Amino acid sequence: LLSGDLNITNSHGYVFMTDKQKWLIDAVDALFPHAEHRHCLKHLYGNFYMEHRGLALKHQMEAIARATTVPWFHAEMRKLLELSKPAHDWLVEKDPAQWSRAYFKSDSKCDMLMNNLCEAFNHSIMDARDKRVLTVLERIRLYIMLLMAGIRVF
């Protein structure tokens, strides 16, 4: 549906970010074979946190994800290995092309690690999501007007 609505004939240069839902990953791969597929770092960290707790590990995982070059990525991974071998081994199993800037494709021009913007937007229209399209659009318009009015106050 999305590819038809947007007239996407070549998915090269598009980026899809998910929270590691297997069915969604398979669907995106089938419909957009040349698109880049990433995992939200927040959700990846949620899974990481179940087995590897600690603020130092969290900060190190974020540093690894923010690394923009492959040598920098490996240097940060070595720091994680010094902190915790089990945490390092867990992260090595994950494809860095899906969560680390060092391995993102450069032609997409998107370096976002988390999909917080989408989640915040979806939360703001939650009460209108089961309504008609025009009602949803009106809710979005009202939300943006209130947001802009709030910004003017400051």
pLDDT digits (tens, 9 = 90+) for 58-81: 999 999 999 999 999 999 999 999
Q: Stretch 99-121: mean pLDDT, rounded?
A: 77
Res 151: pLDDT: 73
- pLDDT surpasses 60 at 1: no
Q: Which residue has the higher pLDDT, 75 or 138?
A: 75
Residues, the chain, total? 154
Q: Which residue has the higher pLDDT, 44 or 111?
A: 44
pTM: 0.69
Distance, CA of 84 to CA of 73 (rounded, Å): 16
Return the percent helix, strand and coil in the chain, to nearest 5: 65, 5, 30
Distance, CA of 57 to CA of 49 (rounded, Å): 9
Distance, CA of 35 to CA of 13 (rounded, Å): 6
Instruction: Give percent above pLDDT 90 in the chain.
Output: 32
Q: Which residue has the higher pLDDT, 140 or 81?
A: 81
With cut-offs at 50, 70 and 90, classify the pLDDT of residue 2.
low
Q: Are 14 and 33 within 8 A, CB to CB? A: no
